[in-house]
Amino acid sequence: MALMDKHKQVKRQRLDRICEGIRPPILNGPMHPRPLVALLDGRDCTVEMPILKDVATVAFCDAQSTQEIHEKVLNEAVAALLYHTITLSRDDLEKFKGLRVIVRIGSGFDNVDVKAAAELGIAVCNVPASSVEETADTSLCLILNLYRRVTWMHQALREGTRASSVEQIREVAGGAARIRGETLGIIGLGRVGQAVALRAKAFGFGVIFYDPYLPDGVERSLGLQRMATLQDLLIHSDCVSLHCSLNEHNHHLINDFTIKQMRQGAFLVNTSRGGLVDEKALAQALKEGRIRGAALDVHETEPFSFSTGPLKDAPNLICTPHTSWYSEQASVEAREEAAREVRRAITGRIPDSLKNCVNKEYLMAASQWPSMEAATVHPELNGAYRFPPSLINVAAAGGLPGAGAGVESLVSGTLAHGIAPVSHPPHAPSPGQPVKAEADRDIPSDQ
């Protein structure tokens, strides 16, 4: 009799905590076998579904902010997949009542408040390797374009400029420069930075780099020259290429002061993160000729438009829409790896089972989470669905609906995942250290 009373008391405490809406801790053991996984800023789950459909229910939100995310997802999602088009601040993260893991489909994670996530007991992961080649290839393409002025010569012909005589050719191709013997300065020698360095050497560039996080000897293994300070790199570079992550310490790394430290008439390329460059200072430097030309795939405000912002009248500027990460192969690989990371979180331990957890040390320092008893399995639909404000699109098991296969209906009630919320883990220590310059831009720049 006493045992039954004790069991009722435990169940009552669980129900009380559920009513309080307190976020559950990260489980020190396998999650419930049917958790809710949400793709926040996309609508295509065809790559993720085959990997997750036997262990999770997958929802897509197609949202640009948490205000557009359905309440059911905010209340019940235990894992979130996202690209770079949605931002999760502390206030946004606190709206999710049961979130355990966030996986960025790409390398950059500056659109997620990692510190706040750690304090809330949420693991944040990324996919750092899928677009290394694409981003490096695009970076070199932009560098070559600045030196050989292909874009501007194409535009001149489009506008009807004739280039038949030597004098006309000189006028159209004015500013084109020889590459061999030029010095390329790379800021951030991570995966992409190294790939750019190896490609640039084949074109005859002398390559130098600045990266305070790398151990001694890396420069010798790659045959590069290391600069002790950022100023040293800027002074000695004919072209500067950015390949570092964005954090609170390097916002506007390229600004009016650092631009004045660059060589007169140097080039600037950024395929990393838009916040690294003060676009107002860059526009002024381009107009004054202090910077001969610039190529940007990422921008302070995205989606980028030439019609607004400080760069609208800047000369000698190439801009692309945050696409250097993209190829069909890279896109699929990133999505597959992100889904596998979510699967590891669902079937394993957080954060121990995660492959690319970027805030693991803070989560581990926060607390030791107790093991939790799995609740009764709920027989949920095995498919993908969307949570708009009122409608839910339900897909047949095994994938998204094809033509005529979708079913639209109003759904009432809640989905029971059997994950009993308990109190928050203590706040993690503040990650005061700068994020390492890993040089993986995301996919982002789906990246």
**pLDDT above 70 (res 436):** no
Given 104, 149, 273, 417, the catalytic residue: 273
Given 302, 333, 361, 380, the catalytic residue: 302
Nearest to 97 by CA among 65, 121, 113, 81: 121
pLDDT in tens, 352-372: 999 999 999 888 776 544 433
Told to judge if 90 belongs to the known catalytic residues of this protein, a careful annotator would answer no
The pLDDT, as a whole number, for residue 431 is 38
Cβ partners under 8 Å of residue 249, min gap 6: 434, 435
Told to judge if 417 belongs to the known catalytic residues of this protein, a careful annotator would answer no
Over residues 213-242, the mean pLDDT reads: 97
Report the alpha-carbon distance of residue 323 to residue 126 in Å, rounded.
18
pLDDT band at 408; cut points 50, 70, 90: very low
pLDDT in tens, 142-194: 999 999 999 999 999 999 998 889 999 999 999 999 999 999 999 999 999 99
- Average pLDDT in the chain: 82
The pLDDT, as a whole number, for residue 2 is 58
Report the alpha-carbon distance of residue 421 to residue 408 in Å, rounded.
31
Give me the helices (H) in 262-366, please. Answer: 279-288, 328-347, 360-366
Does this model's pTM top 0.85? My answer is no
**pLDDT above 50 (res 378):** no
Q: Is residue 407 classed as helix, strand or coil in its secondary structure?
A: strand
The pLDDT, as a whole number, for residue 232 is 98
Told to judge if 273 belongs to the known catalytic residues of this protein, a careful annotator would answer yes
Given 263, 322, 335, 343, the catalytic residue: 322
The pLDDT, as a whole number, for residue 443 is 38
pLDDT in tens, 379-404: 333 344 444 443 333 333 333 333 33
Over residues 200-205, the mean pLDDT reads: 98
